[in-house]
Chains A and B, each alone.
Chain A
Amino acid sequence: MKPFIYFATLLVFSANSILADEKVFTAEERAWWAVQAVVDPAVPSQAGKEWARNEIDHFIFRKLAENHLHPAREATPLELVRRIYFDLHGLPPLPEQVDDFTTAYEQNPETALSELIDQLLASPRYGERWGQYWLDVVRYAESDGYRQDAYRPGAKDYRNYIIRSFNDDKPYPQFVREQLAGDIIAPGDPDVLIGTSFLRQGIYEYNNHNVRMHWDIIMTDMTNVTGEAFLGISIGCAQCHDHKFDPILQKDYFALQAFLSTTSWPTDVPLATPEQLAEFQQKEAVWKEATKEIRAQLAELKFTQEEAKRKTEVKMFPEDIQTMYHKAGDDRTPFEEQMVMLVQRQIDYQTERINFEKSFEKHPDKLKQWKSLNEQLKAFDHLKPTPLPKGFVATDVSAKPVVPVIEKRGEKFPVEPAFLTLLDQPAPAIKPTDSNSGRRLALADWIASEENPLSTRVITNRIWQGHFGTGLVATPNDFGNLGEAPSHPELLDWLTTRFVKGGWRMKELHKLIMMSSTYRMTAKQEPTSSESLTDPGNRLLWRFPPRRLSSEEIRDAMLVASGEIRFPSTDRPGSVPGSSPYRSIYVKKQRNKPDELLNCFDAPLGFQSAPQRPETTTPTQSLLMINDSWPLDRAKAFAKSLQFTESGDWRKNIISAYQRALGRMPSETEIDKAKNFIQTLTSLRGDDEQSIESTSLGFRTNSEKFKSVKGIELGSQALNLQRGSRFEQLEIDTTLGSQHDAFTIEAVAHLDSIYPDGTVNTLVSRWDDNRNTSGWFLCVTSTKSRYQPRNLLLVLNGVDYDGQPKYEVVVSNLRVPVGKPVYIGTSVAAHPVSKGGRQGEVTFYLKDLSDPEAKMESVTISHSVIGKLNDSSFPVVIGGRSQVGHLWDGQVSRLTLSENQLPEEQLLLHQPKAGLTRILDLDFSDSTDRSPAPNAGWYGRGASDSLQDSVTDFCHLLFNSNEFLYLY
């Protein structure tokens, strides 16, 4: 299939010349525009004299005039300021930033613009925006990408490095050298070495035993991305045959790969300065010396298992690979070293995961020794230095190169590193070091050279594309014949020349572009008939191109409007979940589990270089924006900060909402419409509350979740508790008082979900979370609880035998199923249960009501709270704790509260006939949203107030609007 294999040794004759001889380029091929030297063209300074502000404009105007087109009018300061903030920071301007700019612009447009651009370029937000473009190009992600998709903790260091590089305005040649050859130019500088993480961005499969094929895939991918990212050539086409459309030979492909093919993916290179490393090693030596004996004994204990594991693991690889593995290191060729590196990584993965404790189960002596040695080792932990961060970086496998080979007509030709044959350039000067082939540096130097016609134009074009959405070459990764020819070839060369001569500084190029009249054109101009006929795609720029916001911009803009956005306080931050308020570039990027919102709006997955993003429009996006809780929660925070009140100044509030979300004043009509909308919704919600006929939100029919329940009398409805609504909790005044030191709670309930964190799900409570007041609550634990998830707990806060305040968690260890109807019973005695005793007790009962075969589980546990448990000034709360959250998510179909500790035969499940004094017995048959139960009232923080809900809806719609999603 693949027409080559790797040869471990160099053959004596050079294949490059043999293969190259076969190809004679035609004149047409030699005339390929992208390989011609960059010239410094004359500026058509007469073109558009009146309109032009700098040279860019002359080039643009000339093309427009040639096509009988005219530049659009100038954008207003409002349009400009929004464009510039999104362009340089990926964030909308705050209302005060808009005001500052428009005021300054009225005084002096040129100074205002120049100062704003300088100010934004100097902000750390700039690197967070422009770094993203590069991360897309290098297919950055933070996971392995295959089935296991393991997280790569070191990947974020590369992201931070990219952001810093942009913020520091690092000259491009340095940027290139660091990424392709940081290990050669400054192996001791972690801030340079991390650049080589570029070579690690490919995907990796932790258990692929076909290491030869796996490495081939890795190398192919590395070669393709290097060609596309730095040279703008779709060299991948030439892997199997000479490029069909471009003058690129198959040999050129492998000659490019030959620069990279010696690369190694080490797992043990620390990301540290020599000083940090020395300090670490010194400390570690002390620890090693102190623990020498213990570690030797441990190693001896582990040896048999590890050896066995290693042997089984090695046998899984093809035979020839096993042979390589068993060779002495010195006998291996560099290619064999690469294979062994991959094998070793898999073996390490397996041996690191041996469960020694388990394997010693049948050898109590060994187990004892194992435990004791580990204990002893732990005693020296204070001497052990904190491990240095592991670098997600690349090096070379050896100074001797790995040479790719092309197979042609049964013969094998090794390929030496070389540049495109078409360019007729001398062979690269390669200087190996002691441990490095030096080949990647030769490639980096060539790419970073001022004379390189491809790399210089490619990066200039990427910067132009960042500002205008489309590059002067519309196919930024392909300057070949399958790509598009430049729309303004002279302008591309003129800009390239300026960029290179100016020291390859991106910030200068940004400013040059942004100060032009071209950049200042409005996007808000409809095409005339001649424009839509001549240039419907706006390639000649008769107006500024409208665009949709990128996924990161959409997410970040919501966070800015809601006032919640956070920025890291260091330039080396970690990664965060998508639910966090940090801006999107810091959201953890898992290839197989992308963030829903970012993925939905076209963020790339990180498998291939993504030089441009599609701007799709899908119903999935609409559903997410209008129904998902994340945008709605942002709208809620937005609405809250607007501080609407019934008697307040709505006009002012609406203006503020428009300014924060859309960066402009609303019109009078818009203000009226917004007012009407909020009023309509508020009264609609009020009607809902008042109308008994309307769909009940606080209750659901029992046929939904309690259909399977048998043996307990239920009413027709269940209380429906929904987090984030006004039906979060039901508060009930009862006669349960301080005289009741024993009582029984029983419920038939359904838990829809538990929290992803440690927050508990409260079924019933009577407490305000204040340790100084009496109270209790019955709850189920969540995912990250220290008591394990779904554990039924009763928490008591009263006094102990000595009358001292006592807080105690009574743990049942009964697990409440999620998504099923259950019976939960708890009988509490807050008095000594035996004569002269000091302890009370709680008995828990649990039964899965979805399964007729299920048995009732019960457990009795002692505790030391024996008094002051009920404070009659608090209501009993179903579904949460007195206004402090920890909410139940689901339904309660029946709830009773009885005096005394009921014996089991008197529980609801056994359908007791009579003689019981119930303090409370609710089956919700006659309940409505307005009158849920006698002496009861709703509490919901989320949306207790219909005005607030309706303002939230209004803010939510601003986020959903086209004006928010598009810069247009």
Chain B
Amino acid sequence: MSPQNSNFKPTRRNFLSSAGAGFGSVALSALTGQNLIAGSVSQKIPHHFGKAKSVIFLFMEGGPSHLDLFDPKPLLRKLAGQKLPDSFETPVTAAGEVYSPLLPDKRKWAQHGESGLWISDWLPKHSAIADDLCVIRSCVTDGINHAGGMCQMNTGAVFGGRPSLGSWVSYGLGSESRNLPDFVVLKDSNAMVVNGVRSWGSGFIPSTHQGVLLESNDPPIANLNNPASVSAEVQKQKLAFLADMNRDHLKTRSSHSDLEARIKSYELAFRMQATAPEAIDLASEPESIKSLYGLDQAETKTYGRQCLLARRLVERGVRFIQLYHGAGSKWDSHSNIEGNHSKLCHQVDQPIVGLLTDLKQRGLLDETLVIWGGEFGRTPMSEKGNGRDHNSTGFTMWMAGGGVKGGQTIGATDELGLYATEDKLHVHDIHATVMALMGMDHTKVIYTHKGRPERVDMNEGHVHEGLVNGATS
């Protein structure tokens, strides 16, 4: 599969005549006068890459502890209460917990599935999906604080202003849905995600590609409902009159494709008004599906609803769906990690298992890449006696579906889980790999900004083929 942008070499000519080419896709990136340079992709990417059509990013905001979930460290228990041995390089951490005693984990660990993947008892249901997960234990980021970490995991830079990963995917692949945005964001509470709306912003690429926040209250999308004084019939009349006015205006200006694009954008807005409420209405879902996602339990119903919505959006062609759990850094457990993580893990365990199971039974998992992780992990050193500080130098994420080889572990951290030591994947590498899994060569999906050819990975990322081929092959 080759992305539609890959052969798109705009000239002013096709730019001017591309007006009717559809919305939210290549035509619009061209409309801004920006050129998208991308060569032929297919020969550069191994053929087994590029299966995913959609991404669901399960974002555990605040930094979940890899040491208590996917990356067991027996030495941590042995050295419990001692200081970090001198053989370790001194890290820089957010709260300066460099010399605090090492905090042992209190988990029961077991190997799961046929593959024998290590998962702790904080995620008991995950056993069922162990063979689908590719656990990456060697993730690295530059952001030591939430703002920088979130910014980098979303946009590649600790510093604001760049397009988010979802925007790059939307830009590179274009739209499959005629009635919904390409990039949709959901969060589990009214709390705002760190860095606010720019976490799903489009940075310097056209805002057509920015994420749209889907709220759980009414209306689900900002300004989706008619104003109170405007009934459905009045709205219809208004839009008809507007279209008439705009068409009159267009008659003598048909060369300017922005004008027609705006006429179409009102039509799309109107379709969204009709489509979005249906897309998020779970009434038609059978009880068995609802309980698969944990909707029948008080603790799991919120994230379960998000996961179920994500599947419905994938079915409707949405490209990139980000599901924030713990919006506003709730996973941030500087103290009392036991209380914090046991509650939060329980909230996501069943919903995530439900999502993967459901995608699989519908045959959607092969073309849907599911990503799990936070902006960083947590330190082996304790904080405030029973918590852990931020760890940016080694942490775990996992991917599943979309052609990823499940039941494997990639990379490793040192014996205490502080630094990634083998097969390091910097955030740039993760982004490059996600692009590859969606069939795009990240070095070819380029947006020229202020004279510089910009890429998702800031020219530093490498695709880790082990995700598909297996770590050792």
Contact = CB atoms under 8 A, between A and B. Distances in A.
Interface of A: 1, 145-149, 203, 205, 207-210, 213, 217, 221, 228, 234, 236-237, 315-319, 475, 477-478, 480, 482-484, 524, 526-527, 532-533, 535-537, 546, 548, 591-594, 596, 599-600, 602, 605, 607-609, 611, 614-624, 626-629, 632, 673, 677, 680-681, 684-685, 688, 695, 697, 722-726, 942-943, 949, 952-954, 956-957, 960-963, 965-966, 968
27 contacts: A146-B148, A209-B94, A209-B95, A209-B96, A210-B92, A217-B158, A482-B452, A535-B12, A537-B12, A592-B195, A593-B196, A600-B207, A616-B207, A619-B23, A623-B269, A623-B272, A627-B226, A628-B223, A629-B227, A632-B227, A681-B238, A695-B231, A942-B229, A956-B238, A957-B241, A957-B242, A961-B245
A211 B261 CA distance: 47
B222 interface: yes
B4 interface: no
B144 A949 contact: no
A318 B92 contact: yes
B471 interface: no
A681 B239 CA distance: 12
A319 B90 contact: yes
Given A205-B145, A618-B208, A315 B265 contact: no
B265 A618 contact: yes
A615 B146 CA distance: 32
A484 B450 CA distance: 10
Contacts of A966: 256, 258-259
Contact of A681 (B94, B160, B237): B237
Contacts of B225: 627
B224 interface: yes
A619 B272 contact: yes
Given A318-B90, A956-B238, A205 B28 contact: no
Contacts of A608: 161, 204
Contacts of A695: 231-232
B92 A602 contact: no
A477 B451 contact: yes
Nearest to B235: A626
A680 B144 CA distance: 61
Interface string B138-166: 00001011111010000000111100000
B452 A591 contact: no
Given A316-B96, A532-B16, A624-B222, A673 B250 contact: no
B95 A316 contact: yes
A605 B202 CA distance: 11
A217 B161 CA distance: 14
A947 B237 CA distance: 15
A128 to B, nearest CB: 25
9 tightest Cβ-Cβ pairs between the two chains A and B: A316-B96, A607-B161, A478-B451, A536-B12, A147-B147, A592-B196, A146-B147, A482-B451, A607-B160
Interface of B: 11-13, 15-16, 23-24, 28, 31-34, 90, 92-96, 98, 142, 144-148, 150, 158-161, 181, 194-198, 201, 204, 206-208, 210, 212, 221-235, 237-239, 241-242, 244-246, 249-250, 252-256, 258-259, 261-263, 265-266, 268-269, 272-273, 448, 450-453
A317 to B, nearest CB: 6
A930 to B, nearest CB: 15
Contacts of A632: 227, 229
Contacts of B452: 234, 236-237, 478, 482
Contacts of A237: 452
A361 to B, nearest CB: 21
Nearest to B253: A968
A611 B259 contact: no
B266 A626 contact: yes
Given A592-B197, A621-B265, A697-B231, A680 B96 contact: no
Nearest to B15: A536
A724 B159 CA distance: 42
A627 B223 contact: yes
B472 to A, nearest CB: 28
Nearest to A546: B256
Of B11, B147, B255, most buried by chain A (CB within 10 Å of CB) is B147
Contacts of B208: 616-618
Nearest to B97: A316
A968 B256 contact: yes
A22 B321 CA distance: 50
Given A213-B142, A677-B241, 10 more contacts: A318-B98, A594-B197, A617-B31, A620-B222, A623-B221, A623-B273, A624-B223, A627-B223, A680-B237, A724-B227
B265 A684 contact: no
A619 B228 contact: no
A409 to B, nearest CB: 21
Of B28, B241, B244, most buried by chain A (CB within 10 Å of CB) is B241
Contacts of A685: 231, 234
Of A208, A475, A533, most buried by chain B (CB within 10 Å of CB) is A208
A956 B266 CA distance: 14
Contact of B147 (A205, A317, A942): A205
Of B32, B227, B238, B259, most buried by chain A (CB within 10 Å of CB) is B227
A237 B453 CA distance: 11
Contacts of B256: 546, 966, 968
A953 B242 contact: no
A615 B262 CA distance: 11
A627 B160 CA distance: 30
A526 B254 contact: yes
A968 B228 contact: no
B92 A209 contact: yes
B228 A725 contact: yes
A962 B255 CA distance: 14
A698 B252 CA distance: 44
B269 A724 contact: no
A232 to B, nearest CB: 10
Nearest to A479: B451
A310 B32 CA distance: 52
A475 B145 contact: no
Given A592-B195, A608-B161, A960-B242, A688 B96 contact: no
Nearest to A218: B159
Given A627-B227, A677-B241, A315 B96 contact: yes
A477 B210 CA distance: 24
Given A616-B207, A628-B223, A684-B237, A962 B262 contact: yes
A622 B262 contact: yes
A776 B253 CA distance: 61
Contacts of A688: 231, 233
Contacts of B11: 536
B127 to A, nearest CB: 36
Nearest to B201: A605
B229 A943 contact: yes
A961 B147 contact: no
Nearest to B205: A614
Of B96, B194, B198, B242, most buried by chain A (CB within 10 Å of CB) is B96
A966 to B, nearest CB: 7
A626 B239 contact: yes
Contacts of A965: 262
Contacts of B32: 614-616
Contacts of A596: 222
B207 A614 contact: yes
B220 to A, nearest CB: 12
Nearest to A220: B159
Nearest to A149: B196
Contacts of B249: 961-963
A670 B246 CA distance: 12
Contact of B244 (A315, A623, A673): A673
A57 to B, nearest CB: 24
Of A482, A536, A725, most buried by chain B (CB within 10 Å of CB) is A536
